[in-house]
């Protein structure tokens, strides 16, 4: 990989991080009330910082909650090289670009709460999920060909090795 200044524009920077970094892979988010969430854009939590410490636990317990563990497993499953390819890193986001997977993960975890009423309402809205899933399908039709033409063909080996290195180094293994 050519070394030089890296300019990140947030949504389109997953090449630099080899995919989504939420769920404690490289990052997580705690709100003002101590709710520990996978990402600032995933307003759902299982653990609260104050409650954990009041019960003799620590922040590491939150890193191994169902929600975080399943989120990291999803990252590893989706952004590790398979058949010589890394999947489209232009669509890395668990909650936006892969909403169906996100809903499946959240609904498989017991006791997940919304950060606020809007988040709770969204989680309970089939219409909201259907809209985002349609968005993902439409986006995929545009971005997959672009990824294949401009990234995968040119840099497949480079991207693959970087993604693998990052997955090996950064992903917290549950062993
Ligand atoms: S969930 Fe989306 S916004 Fe959050 S770290 Fe992952 S890719 Fe980025």
- Note the pLDDT of residue 1: 56
Strands annotated E in 81-144:
113-114
Q: Which atom of ligand 1 is nearest to the CA of 97?
A: 2
- Note the pLDDT of residue 169: 55
Strand 47-48 relative to strand 35-37, pairing: antiparallel
CA of 146 to the centre of ligand 1 (A): 21
Q: What is the C-alpha separation between 92 and 88, in angstroms, rounded?
A: 7
The better pLDDT of the pair 163, 6 is held by 6
- Note the pLDDT of residue 2: 64
* pLDDT of 160 over the 60 cut: no
- Note the pLDDT of residue 114: 97
CA of 41 to the centre of ligand 1 (A): 7
* pLDDT of 75 over the 70 cut: yes
Give the residue whose CA is nearest to atom 7 of ligand 1: 93
Hey, CA dihedral for 136, 141, 147, 153, is it positive or negative?
positive
- Banded pLDDT at 153 (limits 50, 70, 90): low
CA of 40 to the centre of ligand 1 (A): 8
* pLDDT of 24 over the 50 cut: yes
Average pLDDT over residues 30-59: 97
What residues does ligand 1 touch, defined as CB less than 6 Å away? 20-22, 39, 41-42, 92-95
* pLDDT of 164 over the 60 cut: no
- Note the pLDDT of residue 134: 98
CA of 20 to the centre of ligand 1 (A): 5
Find out whether 8 and 152 touch, Cβ atoms under 8 Å. Answer: no
Average pLDDT over residues 1-17: 75
* DSSP 3-state of 102: helix
Pocket test for ligand 1, best of 14, 67, 94 (most atoms within 8 A of CB): 94
- Note the pLDDT of residue 52: 98
Give the residue whose CA is nearest to atom 6 of ligand 1: 20
- Note the pLDDT of residue 175: 46
DSSP secondary structure code for residue 47 in this structure? E
Predicted structure pTM score: 0.83
Tell me how far apart the 2 most distant CA atoms of the chain are, in Å: 53
What are residue 15's phi and psi, to 5 degrees?
A: -60, -30
The better pLDDT of the pair 60, 5 is held by 60
């Amino acid at each position: 990989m050519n070394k030089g200044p890296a300019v990140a524009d947030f949504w389109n920077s997953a090449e630099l991080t080899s995919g989504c970094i939420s769920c404690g892979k490289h990052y997580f988010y705690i709100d003002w009330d101590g709710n520990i969430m996978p990402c600032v854009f995933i307003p759902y939590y299982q653990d609260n910082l104050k409650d954990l410490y009041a019960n003799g636990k620590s922040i590491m317990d939150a890193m191994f909650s169902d929600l975080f563990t399943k989120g990291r497993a999803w990252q590893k499953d989706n952004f590790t090289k398979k058949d010589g390819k890394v999947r489209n890193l232009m669509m890395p986001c668990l909650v936006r670009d892969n909403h169906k997977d996100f809903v499946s993960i959240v609904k498989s975890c017991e006791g997940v709460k919304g950060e606020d009423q809007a988040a709770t309402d969204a989680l309970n809205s089939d219409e909201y999920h259907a809209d985002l899933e349609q968005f993902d399908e439409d986006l995929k039709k545009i971005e997959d060909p672009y990824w294949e033409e401009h990234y995968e063909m040119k840099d497949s080996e480079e991207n693959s090795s970087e993604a693998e290195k990052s997955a090996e180094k950064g992903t917290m293994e549950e062993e």
